[in-house]
Amino acid sequence: MSSKSIVYWASPYEMMGLPDSKSNMITNNLVKTRFILDKVLDNINPEDKVGIKIHPGNAYNTHYLRHDYVREVVKAVKAKGGIPTLIETQGLGMYSYQINMSENYTICLDCRTNADDHEKIAHLHGYSESIVGAPLKFLDGDKGIESRNVKIDGIHLKEVAVAAGLFEYDKIIVVSHFKGHPQAAFGGALKQLGVGCVAKKNKFVLHYLDDLSINNRNCNISKCAQECISECPVNAIKIEGESAVIDISLCVGCTACFKKCPIKRAIKRKFNMTDIKGLTEKAMDNAAAVVNSYGPDKIRYINFAFDIPLMCDCVVNASAPVVPDLGIFGSSDPIAIDKACLDAETNAPSLPFLDMKGQWTQPIKPGIEKFKALNPMVDTTWQINAAVKNKLGSIDYELVKI
């Protein structure tokens, strides 16, 4: 794809210029969502099984996309005769643990690594059939391990475990909350593909630098109930002598073993805090596997650039919004739609916010990309450049205002 891609955009502040003068008072963002959808959902036929890829947010995050917008997507699919299902994959749960805040107040962070827990959070955030009008299904099964291996010639990866359930749908609509991200710099359509549509195995590949291995000095079967073995969903762990061994050819990176192991550092893993560019590029390799195996023409994208914090919807302290609401974007091109959101974010002035010492920050001027300015560890160009290298779409777009 080298020609300009169309990105439809509705401003969150202005009235829409509808031909009927009586309708010119419409400013409502749900109504604007429907008008964007009417432009981009040109590929849906009656009886199509349509997967609506969502991210319902994480426990204790309050910046996730409101379910009201997803309900509009469901309604638009039904209006075209399609059969909508909300689709999602399990989280890897890097920060998954219980914290006792006080004697009778315990909170569970990042507890969305299996279907039961994930569904509870989705329902809490309004993503349930009784509210949005479509059921929720997990593409990678209850534990996040059901996948189809897809060969690619990516920047780093040659094979990707794409979530198996994706292929049950005739069409996919990727619904994204545009916001910052602590590693990928920003989250939008591309990240929904590259992280949100793959099984845990390829989420692990991004977030950890090496394969898991047993630390023989710490692993001690006389001090545990061999929880790692009972937790492993693919029987990749067995006991040899006095300690466990992992058959890495079987491991699907679900992280269950080291979360359950009671002995500190018995299972060695190296969280990726150093190769952030590589992490982002691998995510775009994943995205290429998803798009190439599923079919680019069968996917449409809608980004909601509302309530835009520096961190993603998995993070508990996602910060205050860094820029004003930027609007609703729709496209058939995942690079073009994310680039249009990034350009809008760059061109906007930032919002001042109270820092951790209670002092107001100075606004960042229009023309400066805010996510990098506020978090120098990241760079938004890494994700876009890797997506271009993987031929996921076009960086050149034409913005068509609704």
- Pick the closer one to ligand SF4 by CB: 14 or 247: 247
Contact 294, 172 (CB under 8 A): yes
- According to DSSP, the residues that pair with 239 across neighbouring strands are 244
Pick the binder of ligand SF4 from 15, 234, 354, 400 (CB under 6 A): 234
Site pattern 183..222 for ligand SF4 (x: CB under 6 A): -----------------------------x-x----xxx-
- Distance CA(133)–CA(350), nearest Å, equals 36
Query: Would you give the binding string for ligand SF4 spanning residues 250-279, x where CB under 6 A is met?
Result: -xxxxxxx---x-x--xx------------
Distance CA 185, CA 169 (A): 30
Backbone angles phi, psi at 90, to 5 degrees: -75, 150
Give the list of residues 6+ apart from residue 217 with CB closer than 8 angstroms, or none.
Answer: none
Taking the complex as a whole, the smallest distance from the CB of residue 206 to ligand SF4 amounts, in Å, to: 14
Q: Which of 236, 283, 288, 337 binds ligand SF4 (CB under 6 A)?
A: 236
Min dist. Cβ of residue 113 to ligand SF4 (A): 11
CB of residue 203 to ligand SF4, shortest distance in Å: 11
What is each CA distance from 92 to 58, 89, 110, 145, 367, in whole angstroms?
A: 12, 9, 9, 10, 35
Q: Which is nearer to ligand SF4, 224 or 320 (CB)?
A: 224
**CB of residue 112 to ligand SF4, shortest distance in Å:** 17
Q: Which is nearer to ligand SF4, 218 or 394 (CB)?
A: 218
CB of 286 vs ligand SF4, minimal distance in Å? 18
Task: Select from 4, 22, 37 the least CA-distant residue to 328.
Answer: 37
In whole angstroms, what is the distance from residue 212 CA to residue 245 CA? 10
Q: Which stretch binds ligand SF4 (CB under 6 A): 130-138, 246-254, 279-287, 379-387?
A: 246-254
Biggest alpha carbon–alpha carbon distance for the chain: 81
Handedness of CA 144, 107, 209, 338 (dihedral sign): positive
**Three-state DSSP state, 147:** strand
- For ligand SF4, give the closer residue by CB, 110 or 307: 110
Residue among 59 and 232 whose Cβ is closer to ligand SF4: 232
Please identify, using beta-carbon distances, which residue of 228 and 326 lies nearer to ligand SF4.
228
Cα 145 to Cα 43, 254, 287: the distances in Å are 30, 7, 17
Applying CB under 6 A, does 287 fall inside the site for ligand SF4?
Answer: no
Find, among 221, 208, 193, 287, the residue nearest to 248 by Cα: 208
Say what angle helices 334-347 and 380-389 make with each other, to 10 degrees: 160
Residue 245 is a binding residue for ligand SF4 (CB under 6 A): no
Q: How far is the CB of 200 from ligand SF4 (least distance, A)?
A: 8
Amino acid (1-letter code) at residue 327: G
Q: Which is nearer to ligand SF4, 102 or 235 (CB)?
A: 235
Binding site for ligand SF4 (CB under 6 A): 212, 214, 219-221, 224, 226-228, 231-232, 234, 236-237, 243-244, 246, 251-257, 261, 263, 266-267
